Structure formats: C-alpha cells, structure tokens
Chain A
Amino acid sequence: MITLYFDPGLGAMIIQTIIAAVAGVILFSKNLMYKIKVFLGITKDNKKDVFDDIDINKDSDLENKNSSEL
C-alpha cells in the first residue's frame, strides 16, 4: 500500500460508515419501489439514455465487435 499523497480527510474516512448505511436504505427502498412499479406496470423505459449502467461488461466484446465491423 502506497502512503497516500493527498489528505483523504479524517472526517470523510469516519463518516463513510454512516453514509453507507444511509445509502443502503436508499438503495433498498428504490429497489422496492421499482419492483412495485414493475408489478403495477407503470415503469418507463428510457431508451434515449446516454449513460449506461454502472457494471462493466467483462466478457462481452459486443461493442468492439460492432465497431470493427463498420
């Protein structure tokens, strides 16, 4: 582990436990709401979205394959 070359902020290090707990509740409730909405059939699919999901697709080279075909 390299000694850090900038100040991470002591408060910021301590507080992350609290933030993580809050984030956990938010994610849980959003997820629940989403499931309810799907169940009721009121979700909207935004296909024009410019940004993808957080997950990086490791195995699929689909994007690269497509672009090399062009």
Chain B
Amino acid sequence: MNSKNAHSSSFRDPSGYVFTENGKIKRAINPIYFKQYKALSDSGFYNDLFKNKLLIKHEEVEKTDEQIIISAEKIPFITYPYEWSFNMYKEAALLTLKLQKYCLEHGFSLKDASAFNVAFHNGKAIFIDTLSFDFYTEDSPWRAYKQFITHFFGPLVLAHYHGAQQLKLLSNFIDGIPVKMLSSLLPFKTKLNPLLYSNIHLLAKLEDKHNEDYKGESKVASLSKKGQLNIIESLYNYIKKLQLKEQSEWGNYYDKTNYTDDAFIEKSQIINAWIKAIKPERLIDVGGNDGTFVRRIDFEVNNALVCDIDNNAVDFNYKTMKLNKEQFMLPFVLDVLNPSASIGLNNKERDSFLNRIREFAPNVTLALAVIHHMSLSGNVPFRNSAQFFSTFSKHLVIEFPKRNDSWVQRLLKSKGEFENHFSFYSIENFEIAYSEFFTITKKTPIINSDRVMYLLEVKS
C-alpha cells in the first residue's frame, strides 16, 4: 500500500498517507476514502475551511482508479503539542471543536481528534490532517470524543490546576494522557464541577468498567446530533475561559533585567545592523523570551522561530503575536539542555528538534543572554555549547555576559562553595572554545553593561 516513501508518522490511517516528493508535501488517498474525499471536495467543504484558514490548503495533482494524489501547502516548521504554550494549546483545542461543530452541521464528523493533527502556521493554529473527516452517521456518538479528552481537554485542565509544565506530559503519552491518570491527578474539588466530573471522572469510571468487555456485549448508546453539539459547545465555552493559575515568573522579564535603557537600545541596534547585513529569510532566537528583540529587528524575515524554556514567556509572545496579527512569528517552548527528542514508532513518528531545525535551515541563530544560563546553571562547557550552536546555521549572534555581570554574579553566588569550579567562565575561554567551530566576524561591547555581542560564522 505504502508504495511511495511514506512519512514515518503516516501509518495509522488506512485512508491514505503522507510522503515527500522533490521537497513537496504530498498525500496519497486510497480508494477506501474516495467517496469521502469526493463529497468533501464537491460540496465545497474543503474550500470553506481553506477560506477560513482552518485546514491546510491542498490541490489535486493526480487521479487514477487506484490512487488520488494531492499536494499540500508546506509548513516551514512543525511544532508538537508538548512544545506549545498554554494558550497555543487552547487555540488548537478550540480549533478541533470548531471543526467538529462545522462537520456536524454539514453531515461530516472528525474521525480522530489527535493534538498532532494541528500545527501553527502564519500566526494561527491550523488543521493538517486532510483525511480526518468522515461521514456523520445519524444519532451516533462522537468516536473521537475520548481522544479529544486525552489529547486536549485533560492536559489543559491539568495545566490549569498544576501549571503549564503539565503540557509536556504528551511527549511521554503520545496518544493522550490516560483518563484514569487524569482523574487521579486532578484535585478532589474537580469532582464537584459537573462538567469536569462528567467529562473526566465519570469517563474514567466507565472506561474502567467496560475495559474488560472483550466479548463486545455492551451496547453503544445512541446520541442525537443536538446532544453531541451540546457536549462540543460546553467544552468549547469551558476551554475558552480556562486560565493558568500560576503567575508568570518571566512575564515582566524586561522590567527586571540589569540593563539600562541605553544598553537595551544599543543591544537592539547592534542586532539590527548585523541582521540587515545578513538579510536572512529564516531565523531562530534560542532563549528569545517574549520575542522582544526579534520584533525590534528592522528587516522583514519570512519566518522567525522564537523559543524559550519558560512556557509563560512563550505564552506572552504568542498573545502579542495574536494581538499584532503577526504571521512571521512562531513561538514555542524549548529547553536547550533537553531539546525534544524523536519519539513514537521506530523513534521516527515525531521528529526531534534538531532534525526539524536542520530541515528548516535558518540563516542566522540568535542566542541572547543564554550562554551564562547554559554554562552556569546547566554546567555545559563552552566547547559543548559551541558545538551545539554550530549545527544550527551559518551565522550566530551570541551575547556574552562577562564575569562581573550581575546576573552572572547571582548565578555564581548560588553555587556556594562550588563557585571556584566555574573559574572557566571568562571571555578569553569563551573565545578560545568558540573559535574551534566559528570565526569571530564581529565583536562589540554593549555600553553601560558587562556584556559583549559577537557575530560568529561557522568554519567550513
């Protein structure tokens, strides 16, 4: 069946599979899905979703009796649910519910509700699985309901009660967090909320009860369309209002940095001048916080990835992006000391961050105010961080806070008696280590600060 080189994540759905051909993303549709595909195309359903930018655009390129091939718009960088900030996650969940409602109103139904069916593109969540739509059978319950709870609703409610870190759980539970686990992790008071009780606790109980029905004796109850719409709408309203309880640690980061206004403006001007000279189409800002410096770049880049370890900072960036209606920005959560790994079947289903960044091939990498955290908090020697950054892009803009910098001092003080172990942290050692992988093209100290900006170029 998978005659062409199918994408390693595209094996579950018998309706078809994704493959790449000459750098283009294509999808082969098998005869089993022809009827659905025809109905979705002819009724204008696909077109309506394209118009509203809810489904990734495709066009038919080949049609035979055995196979239909469609070519889909390429998303420059795919992010996974465990890399989304809280509100990004919310948008993806709301998109899925929105689509299911639209489906029901037009005689279709989503046959799955996996969080991996959503990606972020041009500043918006977008559905990427073109073959997830099936015909709606009158009075049948939503088959993807449980998947929606384990992929979207559960993680969001967990994050509400226990913080945004919970969203990372999906990297271990690749097919959703088990309902029983969701139920046991939530505080007792959630049992008093009718919506949470019915959608999580009661669901967990019933799933447990019917778990051992191997003979298929239980009867599937019927559910009217109105009933299903009630579920979808009540979940939508609940998720839309859901907020994080925790306060942002870094939300007001730039209010509590050790920069003077002059230094801040100068840093931004240095970056600006260098970026303008490089003229990048794509860039990545590692440790980019809320995207402040990328927004101050006075050059139009097509795609800017801005990642940070702190979910709240990423969320702040995401909200700014939404309010400004920016299309070039893509915020996501990334821990440089532990970037997302390749996971799933054959360890190939979901690609690692490093593979994705290699394919994205940014022209320049920004690493501002990151190196001291990597070296002092993460104990990463300069040579290792240099090697790490050298795989990203040809150019690297890196900021080095000297030993006297107040942040560096704070980090060193927190080491207590081990402070001496970090005597390697000096600008001389930094230059020696980085020179092994890079040529220093430019070096400019920032006025009124103990920080130096470097423009480096990878040695070939």
Contacts and interface: CB of A to CB of B under 8 A. Distances in A.
B207 interface: yes
A4 B102 CA distance: 21
B101 A27 contact: no
A44 interface: no
A26 interface: yes
Interface stretch (B133-141, B251-259, B396-404): B133-141
A50 B319 contact: yes
Contacts of A48: 323
A1 B109 CA distance: 11
B209 interface: yes
Contact of A11 (B15, B112, B195, B207): B207
A23 B221 CA distance: 17
A50 B46 CA distance: 25
Given A10-B218, A19-B198, A27 B230 contact: yes
A17 B210 contact: no
Contact of A9 (B195, B207, B219): B207
Contact of A6 (B91, B147, B149, B240): B147
B134 A5 contact: no
A21 B227 CA distance: 7
B227 A24 contact: yes
B189 to A, nearest CB: 17
B94 interface: yes
A10 B213 contact: yes
B245 interface: no
Contacts of B210: 9-11, 14
B111 A63 contact: no
A64 B51 contact: yes
Contact of B194 (A8, A26, A51, A54): A26
Interface in B10-51: 12-15, 32-33, 36, 48-49, 51
Given A20-B227, A56-B48, A57-B52, A14 B319 contact: no
A3 B32 CA distance: 10
Interface size class of B (residues with CB under 8 A): 35 or more
A15 B221 CA distance: 8
A1 B134 CA distance: 7
A14 B98 contact: no
Interface stretch (B160-168, B231-239, B292-300, B411-419): B231-239
A22 B87 contact: no
A22 B53 CA distance: 32
Contacts of A8: 143-147
Contacts of B63: none
B234 A26 contact: yes
B97 interface: yes
Contacts of B134: 1-2
A24 B13 contact: no
B52 A22 contact: no
A54 B233 contact: yes
A12 interface: yes
Contacts of A55: 98, 101
Contact of A10 (B48, B90, B179, B220): B220
A52 to B, nearest CB: 8
B230 A16 contact: no
A20 B233 CA distance: 10
B317 to A, nearest CB: 13
A30 B236 CA distance: 13
Interface in B91-127: 91, 94, 97-98, 101-102, 111-112
A11 B51 contact: no
A40 interface: no
11 contacts: A2-B14, A2-B15, A11-B203, A11-B209, A13-B145, A17-B227, A22-B195, A23-B227, A23-B234, A50-B91, A56-B102
